[in-house]
Amino acid sequence: MKNYSEWEPIIDYENDSPWVEPTRAWIKHRTATVPKTIKFEPIPIHEFIKLSANKFPNNVCVFHKPTDKKYTYRELVNYADRIANALHQLGIGKGDAVGIMSGNCPEFLFCILGILETGAATVPINPLVKESDVTHIVREAGNIKAIFTTRANYRTIKKTRKQVEVENVIIIASEEGKPDAITLTEFINGIAAKPPVVDIDPENDIAALLFTGGTTGLPKGVMLTHTNLVADALCTIYNSDEPLEELEALAGTSVNLSILPLCHTFGFTVVIIAMRAAMMLVMFASFDPAEVLEAIEYYKVSMFVGVPVMFQMVINSPEFTERNLSSLESAGCGSAALAPELNKKWEKITGFKVGQGYGLTESSPITHTAAIWLPEIRPASVGVPITDTDAKIVNPDTLEELPPNEVGELLIHGPQVMKGYWKHPEITEKIIVNGWLRTGDLARMDEDGYFYIEGRTKDMVKYKGYKVMPREVEDKLMEHPAILEAGVAGIPDPNIGETIKAWVVLKSEYRDKGITEREIIEWSKEKLAGYKYPRHVEIIKALPRTAVGKIFRRKLRAMELEKQ
């Protein structure tokens, strides 16, 4: 097995990136202190993480608040090595896959690292998905030899086993097993911390098989190689104008709030970045805004990263204006658009804007951020591409590149773009064209190179020949003083084909004040163009969301069809 103890990336400030067209509009904002490209010898993702773990073995890796347990980086490696050895003894290796269905817990990290050390691919399964989706994932993968799960999710796995064979099930985060499933403690009892010797090809071997959310159909397996994940982490970490020495001196000194689901590509990559920087991960059982705000104050957290629904919960928490948040220097939001009204409220209390970013599972996932070297943060923008990442806006039909400010499909080119869809070469050929990833998202780029996501091509509402993006209507509805959140989608109309409907959730203090759906429609008439305001409004208790907090528009449409 290759020795990576001397491995280091080359941060290049002189030579243009081989991935990026050097005349791109955003390049002009980069100063001489921002890297142009990053070169590195291919390295397995677990070796990439273990380099930092071995450098800071006694630092706390994860503090699990629900159990008040702390684990050092030395313990992370020890558990991972034992798990890898135990899996190897089951015959698991390259070409196989191992599932893990769990919420955020320390064992999730141990298992992921251990799975990777065997050469097998890791398959995170969101614990919130339905049993039918779990069965589909296991059947579609076809090579899952073992699944790690919690007692809470055991029943789902048990039902799946009745339809698809899974040889081994291991219960984590519990000392109580099941008749056909042993605990993690039993699994690694007496097993030496000696991972198997495996020859891994980082550029071609699959590290993670991440299944998409299935918002437009059954989940598809996204094949991410070790190099995909390492490249995305490096290009995000070093996308900075801070001196290299200062940036690297931060290793082992910071705290990361582990609040994003580790089973999702966003949380998965943020944790890789955090462990590469030898951060302490403060992990919660579930997202509680009061607990999170307390942790920001207590640990003096400098950066808060979340998804829109998390920002919404934090901003609406009474603790938001009571806690000392002076340690915060920046905030990043991904997965979906953050409503401008929420950004304004955040800035009023913290003194700075939330920088939005962009990415998707197929790109490991990060491609755009509100980089600190940009002249300003533009709240409606997702920023600019990270290092070694190119992006362009094209006509979806001809793939011809469009001029600034024209809306078209966003395409991505970079080392983090997936290897392809598992068992779906025909779909892969349609999505990756000449090395460019078709995102399916409608976007535009302004003259300064800032990108703006306008919505999914499949979410666009066609009202009387006009094209209406749901996000624009949702953002405007959020300005209504009584509305907490809003979801918009196109619904069938017998006369014109499709019309616009909004589902809204009222703030608690307005729920008994007689706010009517007609009143909201009349209000939106005054705020939106004549073809954009919702013709129908329904007040509901909560919006359906995907497992990572995005508005589930397909579910909204399904609710309407069922109603009709």
Domains of the chain: 42-286 (3.40.50.12780), 459-563 (3.30.300.30)
Other beta carbons within 10 Å of 129: 20
SS3 67: coil
Spatial CB neighbours of 528, under 8 Å, sequence gap ≥ 6: 473, 476
Going residue by residue through the chain, which has 564 residues, state the pLDDT in tens, using 9 for 90 and above. 799 999 999 999 999 999 999 999 999 999 999 999 999 999 999 999 999 999 999 999 999 999 999 999 999 999 999 999 999 999 999 999 999 999 999 999 999 999 999 999 999 999 988 898 899 999 999 999 999 999 999 999 999 999 999 999 999 999 999 999 999 999 999 999 999 999 999 999 999 999 986 544 678 999 999 999 999 999 999 999 999 999 899 999 999 999 999 999 999 999 999 999 999 999 998 899 999 999 999 999 999 999 888 999 999 999 999 999 999 999 999 887 888 889 999 999 999 999 999 999 999 999 999 999 999 999 899 999 999 999 999 999 999 999 999 999 999 999 999 999 999 999 999 999 999 999 999 999 999 999 999 887 778 888 887 878 898 899 999 999 999 999 999 999 887 888 999 999 999 999 999 999 999 999 999 999 898 999 999 999 999 987 667 888 989 998 998 888
Please give the distance of CA 152 from its chain centroid, rounded to a whole number: 23
Query: Would you state the structure tokens that stand for residue 419, as one six-digit string?
Result: 């290897």
Q: What angle do CA 138, 144, 146 make, to 5 degrees?
A: 110
Site of tokens 């070796």: 47
User: Model-level pTM?
Assistant: 0.86
SS3 383: strand
Reference 163, options 184, 138, 190; nearest CA is 138
Reference 390, options 367, 407, 374; nearest CA is 367
CA distance 270 to 249: 19
SS3 434: coil
One-letter-per-residue 3-state SS of 338-355: CCHHHHHHHHHHHCCCCE
Query: Would you state the structure tokens that stand for residue 11, as one six-digit string?
Result: 């941060």
**Number of DSSP helices (H) and strands (E) in the chain, helices first:** 16, 30
Beta strand pairing call for 97-101 and 144-149: parallel
Query: Would you state the structure tokens that stand for residue 141, as one six-digit string?
Result: 């993968």
Query: Would you state the structure tokens that stand for residue 347, as one six-digit string?
Result: 């800035």
Beta strand pairing call for 280-283 and 60-64: parallel
Q: Is residue 365 within 8 Å of residue 418, measured between CB atoms?
A: no
Helical residues (DSSP H) of 205-317, grouped into ranges = 226-237, 244-249, 265-276, 289-299, 308-315
Q: Is residue 149 within 8 Å of residue 131, measured between CB atoms?
A: no
Q: What is the largest CA-CA distance in the chain?
A: 71
98 to 76, 78, 174, 304, 365: CA distances (angstroms): 19, 19, 19, 31, 21
Query: Would you state the structure tokens that stand for residue 3, as one six-digit string?
Result: 């020795």
Sign of the CA dihedral running 350, 353, 359, 365: negative
